[in-house]
Structure 1
């Protein structure tokens, strides 16, 4: 879906499809250099990180393994309960593996911080984070993402895997959702 398909639902486009692809290509080159000669396991957090994971993996000029995990801290609410639960766990054992968590966005950082600690307890050889987006002013905990695409304002963004009520995930760009849509 293109921005013009939902133009009235967006306040503005933050990043075009081309800008996102360029940034993922740049991150892929950094990852390749850092993991040269070592195996790499990419872990995406469902559902939002699917687009980032797919395009990042395709940009890598090397073999990688991928796995997926789903966690929830919201239940049926729009506010975090503060309790994270695993909805879908990994299929691959992390012990001794070089692991890269691939995320769409770092918002408060609370769920990602919990996930990082959970995965670290599984004894990987290394554990790093790659996030396409980060909202620095929304952070409640410090998340050190070794690979970071863009810092964005603390506004409601959709597209490229990010959703509002399960809509807009397939938008090829990232845009700020107009307040009239969620008010």
Structure 2
């Protein structure tokens, strides 16, 4: 979906598809250098990270494995409950593995911090994080992100996997959603 398909729902375009793909290619080169000669397991966090994971996997010029996990800390509301629940666990054994969590966006960092600790406790040799987006103003827990795409303003964004009410995930870039859509 193009920005023009939903332009009445958007306030501001933050990142185009080209900017995102250029950054993912840059991150892929860094990952290849850092993991040279090693097989890494990419762990995508459902559902938002689907686009990032797919494009990163295609950009990498090394053999990888992929797995998926779904976690929630929101329950039925819009504020984090502080309790993380695993909705879909990994199929892979992490013992001795080099794990790279692939995430779409870091808001508070609470869930991602929990997830990193959980995966490390399963015997992974290392657990690093690759995130396309981070909202520095929203971060409540400092989470070390080894590979970061872009810092963005603390605004409600959609596109490239990010949604509002399961809409806008297939928007090719990232944009600020207009308040009239969600208020």
Bin of the TM-score, shorter chain as denominator length: over 0.9
**What is the count of residue pairs matched by the alignment?**
183
User: Given the alignment of the two structures, is residue 34 of structure 1 paired with residue 34 of structure 2, yes or no?
Assistant: yes
Structure-1 residue corresponding to 2:166: 166
Structure-2 residue corresponding to 1:59: 59
Cα drift, residue 153 of structure 1: 0.3
CA RMSD of aligned residues (A): 0.5
Cα drift, residue 123 of structure 1: 1.2
Structure-1 residue corresponding to 2:14: 14
TM-score where L is the length of structure 1: 0.99
Q: Matches of residues 1-183 of structure 1 in structure 2 within 5 Å?
A: 1-183=1-183
Gap regions ≥5 residues in structure 1? none
CA distance in 2, matches of 1:42, 1:64: 7
SS in 2 for 1:131: strand
Cα drift, residue 81 of structure 1: 1.1
SS in 1 for 2:77: coil
CA distance in 2, matches of 1:78, 1:154: 15
- Which runs of 4 or more aligned residues in structure 1 lie more than 6 Å from their structure 2 counterparts after TM superposition? none
CA distance in 2, matches of 1:71, 1:77: 15
SS in 2 for 1:69: strand
SS in 1 for 2:149: strand
Per-residue CA distance 1:48-95 (angstroms, 9 max, x = gap): 000000000000011100000000111211111111000000000001
Per-residue CA distance 1:97-144 (angstroms, 9 max, x = gap): 000000000000000011011011011111100000000010000011
CA distance in 2, matches of 1:54, 1:40: 15
Gap regions ≥5 residues in structure 2? none
CA distance in 1, matches of 2:163, 2:82: 21
SS in 2 for 1:148: strand
